[in-house]
């Protein structure tokens, strides 16, 4: 807890408290209604027996949790002994470099990139020819000045942009960190940190490298981190130390230990290893490692040992270098210029042949010819004028013709193009339609050379969180005991209420207000007066307790009033916690061992005896609470489809049926639904669970699957409490924007690091997924299973093919697909597909689908998906995102668009264009993109035709004169 929180020391731990050190993964509480519209068909492809199972990319889904780390795949890190750690293998230093050039490589590399324009090579050849005295049609200096000017201006621009990156790298590398040296913590530059060194991180500081946690200021070993630079999420994530290392004091005793972990890899969601200390082998997972770029929050300090540094950190491995982008028009111009060059050669050849014929005819008259006389008598004495002979004169005539006809490919065209692009950028920046009042941000043009590509986009790859959505969840309604307390039934009396509690003369209020149902609010105050009151009590207690929310105290202008800000891994959990507080169940303190909830003015403490967080197989989260009377209760919340399978249907079947009806109505309007259940645990059941959980959480092999089995065994015979519905607010105009893009013939793909359930829900509410689509879901965890699933999906997609012309798509063309297909695939499957022979099969399948949703994908996987389309089609691609996790995708696409949102500036800095919200993509592409492409295209054609006429007229005069 934050040290400012007045409730921190409200009570002590008792012997009944059990502290979990199990791996934790992100929490998603979205589900789809079991009463799905019959017109929506869903096909799942997975690696199970008779019943399909979806495997998400959970915290250990991509790691080696099922096998021991082999010697050749292991990295040995000696704690607080960098010399021994680096003795056999020199691990990478912690210095990073994101710049493209160095002092020595700038000139050759920059010239190489500029001369990718074929016209520059042509201009260089012309300038070289003009340096020869025999061919000097223009002045030598004048002929080379235009090309030199263009090259220098471009080089200066590129040098400035790269200098900014080097300056940023220098600032990053010279930041200071506290490193343990000879038993004392000393300041050390980030670039000097080495693998094996122990680092101390203070609150709000950034992690300098990938570290395995040893201890934290929290006595239970919990650390809260913000991973905004990795996954774009501003919510806090929980990380844990091992209890065996939590009590160590490195400044008083020598740390001796060995960490054996996997080699550096790009998987930011997984980590596998173990630590040998004091003769014990402690398992390490993704919950024990903090990645470079994360920030420590709500924790005074944390100690960790560096395991990956510099370019070997997961963040750097997921960062692709910034490519140099060229517009499609320029690429097309290269081929046109090559064709014009052949045409120019043909003209010069004809001219040379005509000159050869003329020389043959007038060989005896050359002395009298003004250009071919053999004698120079201007000084009174005859001097032999240098005549190179018939063959060389023809060659020189050919080369001089090239210089004379060089305007066929004008260098002025490139200068004109740059001027036009500057004007286009001005129009886009000054357009009031491109200004977003909500974020007070206007349009930014960060790459002038690809303006016209905006009008040729065929694929849009979009992030979800912060791009399509505001990442703000609002509690809308609840179903309890079969009664629907929905916002639709709320009258004028149902408004946002402000619940508050008093402590030490100060008033504490939730930071966010929630619109409540007055009838339900009155029932929540009835307590245990009747069965209905008890059920409502348990329902809201589950909302307040079954989460990983951390309550923080925020000061206000009034020193006597404090706000409780709920920070957690999921905005869904935040919405539910605020809803519980609005109904009188305010969470005011949380540690890994207990929680304190103020229930209608009475502060109550519950011991957290165990916690099973959400995973993609169970689709549930479970918390086990110990009451003051030594009773134990298990609270579970999760997706409706998974919860109904573990609820005791013999109890209150009428309530169950009514709840299902309410869930269907909630999901039909795009709300994210969740079912709440509970049951009492007797002493024997708790002891059985406790021993199984202990064994699973300390296992080195198959830990994730063992923990999953323990959770499944205890999550059964539940009594249903009710259901909730949350609205994930889309950004303004997102559904209309997606519909407009699809009407324009642009395919929209969503690539998100979020859960599959969440992505599907947003897909429905944003009109990306429609009720008449057949969903193809691919979730696998091995290569062979991926192959089978793709083949099955391809076969199924062919069955949906009909005779061309039966249906018509939004562009008015005949479409061969009778039923639109939507492909939904997770990051675990993509691990086995990308960079393998399965890429082509995935592309074929995706090409037949109207919509593609990729869930739980890592940053570099996003870039791989963009490259999948980019390398297999000539269509233009655009990537749009708002977080650092979108940078690789933005840089990989032909056009990258950054959103000036709440998730930092990394996406904007890496983008070609920046806008305030997703809806502004429509005027950017369909208005400005159209005009940019059309106007520049007309200008290029005009220049080519105009110069061609000049050259052909000159050619006709020369040929006419020679004849």
pLDDT tens column, 94-128: 998 878 888 888 999 888 888 877 778 878 887 88
From the number of C-beta atoms within 10 Å of its C-beta (0-12, 13-18, 19+), residue 672 rates as buried
The residues that bridge with 327 in the sheet, in sequence order, are: none
How confident is residue 676, by pLDDT bands cut at 50, 70 and 90?
Answer: very high
Catalytic site includes residue 463: yes
Is 60 exceeded by the pLDDT of residue 50? Answer: no
Banded model confidence at residue 194, pLDDT cuts 50, 70, 90: very high
Contacts of 533 (CB under 8 A, 6+ apart): 523, 526, 527
- The arithmetic mean of pLDDT across residues 642-646, rounded, is 88
Beta strands 41-45 and 774-778: pairing type?
Answer: parallel
d(Cα 145, Cα 111) in Å, to the nearest integer?
A: 16
Highest mean pLDDT among 268-272, 509-513, 894-898: 894-898
> What integer pLDDT is reported at residue 31 of this predicted model?
33
Least confident piece of the model among 193-197, 289-293, 388-392: 388-392
281 is an annotated ligand-binding site residue: no
pLDDT-based confidence at residue 905 (cuts at 50, 70, 90): low
> Strands 198-202, 184-189: parallel, antiparallel or unpaired by DSSP?
unpaired
Is 871 annotated as contributing to ligand binding?
A: no
Unique residue bearing structure tokens 């099922």: 66
Whole-prediction pTM: 0.66
- Summarize the confidence of residues 367-384 as an average pLDDT: 57
Among the residue ranges 226-230, 387-391, 821-825, 935-939, the one predicted with the least confidence is 387-391
97-101, 366-370, 570-574, 887-891: range with lowest mean pLDDT: 366-370
pLDDT digits (tens, 9 = 90+) for 518-566: 888 888 887 766 778 888 999 999 999 998 888 888 888 888 888 998 8
753 is in an annotated binding site: yes
> Stretch 23-40: mean pLDDT, rounded?
35
Whether 172 has a pLDDT exceeding 80, the answer reads yes
Better-predicted residue by pLDDT, 521 or 29: 521
- HSE-CB of 242 using CA atoms within 13 angstroms: 24
User: Which is catalytic among the residues 80, 231, 463, 615?
Assistant: 463
332 marked as binding residue? no
- pLDDT one-digit tens code per residue, 484-514: 987 545 444 445 666 788 877 788 888 888 8
464 is in an annotated binding site: yes
Point out which residues pair with 180 in neighbouring strands. 185
CA end-to-end distance (rounded Å), the chain: 96
Q: What percent of the chain has pLDDT over 70?
A: 82
- DSSP character string of 599-647: ETTEEEEEEEEEEE---TTT-EEEEEEE-TTS-EEEEEEE-HHHHTTTB
With tokens 């260089």, the residue in question is 124
Residue 135's pLDDT band, with cuts at 50, 70 and 90, is low
With a cut of 80, say whether residue 731 has pLDDT above it: yes
Query: Is 802 within any annotated ligand binding site?
Result: no
Range in 278-292, 378-392, 520-534, 620-634 the model is least confident about: 378-392
Structure tokens at 10: 């409200």
The count of C-alpha atoms lying within 13 angstroms of the C-alpha of 26, restricted to the half-sphere facing its C-beta, is 28
pLDDT tens digits along 340-361: 888 988 998 988 888 888 877 7
**pLDDT surpasses 80 at 607:** yes
pLDDT at residue 3 tops 80: no
Predicted confidence (pLDDT) at residue 302 exceeds the cutoff of 90: yes
Neighbours of 602 (CB within 10 A): 10
789-806 confidence digits (pLDDT tens): 898 889 888 887 643 444
For residue 238, what pLDDT is reported? 83
CA distance 712 to 705: 10
Is 637 annotated in a binding site? The answer is: yes
pLDDT at 41: 46
Work out the average pLDDT over 194-209: 92
pLDDT digits (tens, 9 = 90+) for 240-253: 888 888 887 776 77
Q: For 432-454, what is each residue's pLDDT tens digit?
A: 989 888 777 889 887 778 889 99
Average pLDDT of 935-944? 90
Q: pLDDT band at 460, cuts 50/70/90?
A: very high
882 is in an annotated binding site: yes
Closest CA to 433 of 21, 947, 921: 921
Which of 380-389, 502-511, 551-560, 893-902 shows the lowest mean pLDDT across its residues?
A: 380-389
Q: What is the DSSP letter of 833?
A: H
Mean pLDDT over the full length of the chain: 80
640 near 33, Cβ under 8 Å?
Answer: yes
Strands of 827-875, DSSP E? 851-855
Quick one: pLDDT band at residue 818, thresholds 50, 70, 90?
Answer: low
The rounded distance, in Å, linking the Cα atoms of 961 and 908 is 60
Residue 279 tokens read as 């003769």
Is 84 annotated for ligand binding? no
Any binding-site annotation on 474?
no
pLDDT at residue 5, rounded to an integer: 37
| Residue 886 assigned as binding residue | yes
Residue 325 reports pLDDT greater than 70: yes
Contact criterion met (CB below 8 Å) for 268 and 859? yes
- The mean pLDDT of 33-48, rounded to a whole number, is 42
């Amino acid at each position: 807890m934050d040290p400012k929180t007045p409730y921190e020391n409200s009570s002590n731990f008792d012997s009944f408290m059990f502290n979990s050190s199990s791996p934790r993964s992100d929490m998603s509480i979205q589900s789809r209604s079991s009463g799905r519209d019959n017109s929506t068909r869903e096909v799942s492809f997975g690696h199970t027996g008779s019943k399909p199972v979806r495997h998400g990319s959970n915290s250990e889904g991509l790691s080696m949790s099922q096998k021991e780390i082999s010697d050749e795949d292991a990295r040995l890190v000696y704690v607080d002994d960098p010399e021994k750690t680096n003795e056999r293998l020199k691990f990478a230093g912690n210095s990073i470099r994101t710049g493209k050039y160095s002092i020595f490589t700038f000139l050759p590399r920059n010239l190489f990139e500029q001369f990718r324009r074929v016209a520059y090579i042509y201009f260089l050849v012309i300038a070289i020819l003009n340096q020869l005295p025999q061919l000097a049609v223009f002045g030598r200096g004048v002929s080379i000045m235009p090309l030199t000017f263009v090259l220098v201006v471009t080089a200066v621009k590129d040098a400035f942009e790269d200098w900014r990156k080097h300056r940023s790298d220098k600032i990053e590398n010279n930041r200071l960190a506290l490193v343990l040296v000879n038993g004392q913590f000393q300041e050390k530059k980030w670039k000097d940190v080495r693998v094996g060194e122990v680092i101390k991180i203070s609150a709000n500081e950034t992690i300098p490298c990938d570290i395995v946690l040893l201890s934290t200021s929290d006595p239970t070993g919990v650390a809260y981190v913000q991973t905004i630079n990795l996954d774009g999420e501003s919510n806090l994530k929980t990380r844990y130390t091992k209890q065996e290392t939590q009590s160590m004091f490195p400044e008083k005793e020598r740390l001796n230990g060995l960490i054996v972990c996997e080699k550096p890899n790009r998987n930011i969601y997984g980590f596998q290893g173990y630590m040998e200390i004091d003769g014990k082998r402690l398992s390490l997972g993704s919950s024990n490692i903090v990645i470079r770029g994360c920030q420590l929050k709500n924790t005074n300090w944390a100690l960790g040992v560096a395991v990956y540094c510099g370019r070997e950190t997961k963040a750097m491995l997921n960062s692709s270098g910034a490519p140099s982008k060229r517009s499609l028009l320029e690429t097309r111009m290269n081929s046109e210029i090559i064709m014009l060059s052949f045409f120019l050669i043909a003209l010069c050849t004809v001219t040379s042949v005509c000159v050869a014929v003329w020389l043959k005819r007038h060989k005896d008259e050359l002395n009298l010819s003004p250009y071919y006389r053999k004698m120079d008598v201007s000084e009174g004495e005859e001097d032999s004028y240098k005549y190179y002979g018939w063959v060389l004169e023809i060659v020189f005539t050919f080369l001089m013709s090239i210089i004379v006809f060089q305007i066929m490919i004008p260098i002025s065209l490139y200068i004109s193009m740059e001027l036009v692009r500057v004007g286009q950028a001005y129009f886009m920046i000054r357009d009031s339609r491109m200004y977003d009042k909500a974020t007070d941000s206007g349009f930014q043009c960060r790459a002038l050379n690809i303006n016209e590509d905006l009008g040729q986009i065929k694929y849009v790859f979009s992030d979800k969180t912060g791009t399509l959505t505001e990442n703000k969840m609002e509690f809308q309604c609840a179903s309890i005991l079969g009664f629907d307390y929905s916002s639709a039934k709320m009258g004028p009396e149902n408004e946002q209420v402000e619940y508050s509690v008093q402590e030490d003369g100060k008033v504490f209020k939730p930071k966010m207000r929630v619109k409540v149902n007055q009838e339900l609010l009155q029932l929540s105050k009835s307590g245990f007066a009747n069965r209905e009151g008890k059920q409502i009590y348990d329902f809201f207690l589950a909302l307040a307790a079954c989460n990983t929310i951390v309550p923080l105290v925020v000061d206000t202008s009034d020193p006597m009033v404090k706000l409780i800000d709920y920070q957690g891994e999921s905005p869904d959990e935040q919405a539910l916690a605020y809803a519980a507080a609005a109904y009188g169940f305010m969470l005011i303190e949380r540690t890994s061992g207990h929680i304190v909830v103020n229930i209608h003015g009475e502060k109550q403490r519950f011991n957290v005896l165990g916690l099973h967080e959400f995973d993609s197989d169970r689709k549930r989260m479970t918390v086990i609470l110990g009451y003051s009377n030594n009773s134990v209760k298990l609270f579970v919340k999760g997706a409706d489809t998974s919860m109904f399978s573990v609820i005791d249907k013999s109890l209150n079947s009428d309530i169950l049926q009514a709840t299902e009806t309410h869930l269907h109505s909630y999901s039909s309007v795009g709300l994210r639904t969740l079912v709440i259940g509970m049951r009492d645990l007797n002493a024997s059941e708790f002891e059985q669970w406790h021993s199984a959980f202990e064994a699973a959480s300390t296992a080195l092999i198959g830990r994730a699957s063992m923990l999953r089995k323990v959770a499944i065994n205890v999550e059964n015979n539940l009594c249903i409490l009710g259901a909730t519905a949350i609205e994930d607010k889309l950004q303004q105009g997102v559904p209309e924007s997606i519909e407009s893009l699809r009407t324009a013939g642009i395919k929209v793909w969503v690539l998100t690091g979020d859960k599959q359930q969440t992505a599907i829900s947003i897909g429905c509410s944003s009109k990306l997924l429609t009720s008449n689509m057949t969903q193809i879901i691919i979730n696998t965890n091995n290569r062979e299973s991926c192959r089978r699933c793709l083949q099955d999906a391809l076969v199924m997609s062919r069955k949906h093919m009909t005779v061309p012309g039966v249906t018509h798509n939004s562009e008015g063309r005949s479409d061969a697909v009778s039923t639109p297909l939507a492909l939904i695939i997770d990051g675990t499957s993509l691990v086995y597909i990308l960079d393998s022979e399965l890429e082509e099969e995935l592309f074929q399948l995706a090409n037949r689908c109207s919509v593609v949703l990729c869930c739980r994908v890592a940053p570099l996987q996003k870039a791989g998906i963009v490259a999948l389309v980019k390398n297999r089609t000539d269509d233009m691609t655009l990537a749009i995102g708002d977080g650092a996790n979108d940078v690789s995708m933005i840089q990989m696409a032909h056009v990258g668009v950054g959103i000036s949102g709440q998730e930092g500036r990394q996406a904007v800095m890496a983008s070609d264009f920046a806008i305030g919200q997703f809806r502004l993509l429509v005027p950017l592409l369909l208005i400005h993109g159209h005009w940019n492409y059309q106007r520049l295209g007309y200008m290029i054609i005009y220049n080519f035709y105009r110069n061609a006429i000049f050259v052909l007229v000159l050619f006709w005069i020369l040929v006419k004169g020679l004849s």
